[in-house]
Structure 1
């Protein structure tokens, strides 16, 4: 089972970075396909890393998807506040943007606390801890691959080539 998940994960990651946009002939369609493949790879990666049982998975993924949707919304709002050129803004506008940004970051921390409690109702505390670590590892690996760097032997995600 572990080998199957690792193989699926490796396949999905390779497929997501193999130029699906060119193969599908459309810029938007290819991007959507890559995002979908990346999401599938994330699901497989997290499922393996936190050792979800089928029963846990049925309860966990709806809660996790709700959490990531809310977190994505906060991050989108933060990106909209970023100032690339403050020269065209008044000091008050800059202060307001920074204040809003701090409030949004506080909202993100509050969201994580709220879902920390919700995750504990579905997972063991050890699995919750592994979840937060696995999210960071997955993000780091995706960023490394997008930047052109490749991990060590085999080109798989961290831990995927162990055993």
Structure 2
């Protein structure tokens, strides 16, 4: 599995671990969103006009992406960790794979549509920088999570 496929899953695990640490998931998610806004604003150096058009698009995309990952991927992870995989039939495994692939396809199409929408708002260079900023942000968040876990 390459890093691009691994990062969203790691981000999902991080967000679930936040949920278990006292604050509600919604509060943690809002904190992460605020950090992300600050990070992207610094990294992408938006003009006022770009920012005004970008953030509604990004927030809609991010919410839909989170919903897909949260609802569907959580069910997949639960199923993979509950011990039932050892007892699953080949037909059930094939159906499970199809469901996982469909979710990955939904995420891909969501990203593709978002990128197309951005083309009317940002220059291509900033769209590419956004992708890099997202990866850098997720990496930084994961790094902070690991450091916090090691200190305990």
TM-score grouping bracket, smaller chain normalisation? 0.7 to 0.9
* Larger relative contact order, structure 1 or 2 (CA cutoff 8 Å, min sep 6): 2
Report the alpha carbon displacement of residue 94 of structure 1 after superposing the two structures with TM. Answer: 1.8
Residue by residue over 1:81-140, the C-alpha shift from the partner in whole angstroms, topping out at 9 and shown as x without a partner, is: 231220243322221111110111111111111111101111111110000100000000
Q: Tell me, which stretches of 5 or more residues in structure 2 are unaligned?
A: 1-20
The CA deviation string for residues 33-61 of structure 1, in whole angstroms up to 9 with x for no partner, is: 44323221110110111111111111111
For the residue of structure 2 that corresponds to 1:148, the secondary structure is helix
> For the residues of structure 2 that align with 1:27 and 1:144, how far apart are their CA atoms?
21
Alignment size in residue pairs: 123
2:58 to 55, 64, 67: 64
Query: Max radius of gyration: which structure?
Result: 1
What's the C-alpha RMSD, in Å, of the aligned pairs? 1.9
Which residue of the partner structure matches residue 144 of structure 1? 143
Name stretches of at least 5 consecutive residues in structure 1 with no aligned partner: 1-25, 150-163
> Residue 118 of structure 2: SS of its match in structure 1?
helix
Runs of 4+ in structure 1 deviating by more than 2 angstroms, as ranges, are: 26-29, 31-38, 87-91
Greater helix share, structure number: 2
